[in-house]
Amino acid sequence: MQDSNIDVLIRGSSLSGKSSIELGWEGLTLERRFAAPHFRVEETLDQHYGLLWCGQPTVAERAYRNNRFTRVIKQPGTLSLGAAGILPAVHARSAYDVVAFVIDPQVTDQVTQDSEWGNSISFHEHLGIADKPLTYLVQLAAQEVLEGGASGRLYGESIALAIIARFVLVASQKGVRTRKQTALPTHLLHRVLDKIGSEYSEDLSLADMAIESGYSRAHFIRMFGAATGRSPHAYLLEVRLERVRHELLNSRSNLAEIANATGFSSHSHMTRAFQARFGISPKDFRRIK
């Protein structure tokens, strides 16, 4: 059996929990990995990669020029990022506890082509850096993987695409100017909103919405945000929660039935989202209506 890219990246590591492969995220694989102290010879990796260091500080010796090893210490909460290509030899002196992700270069190419960055961008290595947005996105993705995709396909795909876009920004060699985003044209926005309004109970994907707009996923998610001030997932969640509130006020369906009818993966998922949005549980809302 051929080794996965994460197996190559962290030799001898073991998977903790689940893999995002089970969720079918396009262009990105993310896994929690553990590894005992180990030695990895120089390898070739055909995908871009990132490591979010967890647990205790990690001590390793890494080969640099002339195959001379230099001691490095990775602090929990920091990130190591790199481009596809040669992985230098590493002697891990302490155990690894990481959230590892690899990104298909074809997807980063598509993201850059669909953005203001264009085709001139390149990546370089970052070792033990602090980037709060990317760290937060990776943590959200890891939690979603752990829960088996409980928040739905759109949520997972949106986070995956956001990780890829943030990786492109952080790992690029040159500073990137931020342009004012163009909003989705009104007639296309209405088409997307009509689709959400009629299919909110389905497991809508980012691709489903992007196709409706006629733009790529990367373009769509930015233009939708510029038009509505929300991500597609946040908008869909709001529609679902408003429908839950309507059902609580006007029907006698039990909470499990309402959750199923409004697109939530479970009664508990609906309850958490409802309480976060309205400050009260669905059960208590129905009781005091």
- My answer on whether 89 and 131 are in the same domain is yes
Q: What is the mean pLDDT of residues 15-40?
A: 94
Q: What is the CATH number of the domain that holds 87?
A: 2.60.120.10
- My answer on whether 221 and 200 are in the same domain is yes
- My answer on whether 101 and 36 are in the same domain is yes
- My answer on whether 30 and 124 are in the same domain is yes
pLDDT tens for 139-187 read: 999 999 999 999 999 999 999 999 999 999 899 865 444 445 678 888 9
* Domain tally, the chain: 3
- What are the residues whose beta carbons fall under 8 Å from the beta carbon of 238, sequence distance 6 or more? 230, 277
Q: What is the mean pLDDT of residues 49-57?
A: 93
Q: What is the mean pLDDT of residues 229-238?
A: 89
Indicate whether 180 belongs to any domain: no
Indicate whether 15 belongs to any domain: yes
Indicate whether 176 belongs to any domain: no
- My answer on whether 150 and 86 are in the same domain is yes
Indicate whether 181 belongs to any domain: no
Q: From CA 87, how far away is CA 240, in angstroms rounded?
A: 45
> Mean pLDDT in the chain?
88
pLDDT at residue 2 is higher than 60: no
Q: Is 111 helix (H, G, I), strand (E, B) or coil?
A: helix
Q: Which two tokens stand for residue 256?
A: 């499990």
pLDDT confidence bin for 228, thresholds 50/70/90: confident
Q: From CA 175, how far away is CA 172, in angstroms rounded?
A: 7
Q: What is the mean pLDDT of residues 85-101?
A: 92
Say if CB 270 and CB 244 are below 8 A apart. Answer: yes
List the domain range (segments joined by +) for residue 246: 235-288
pTM for this model (two decimals): 0.78
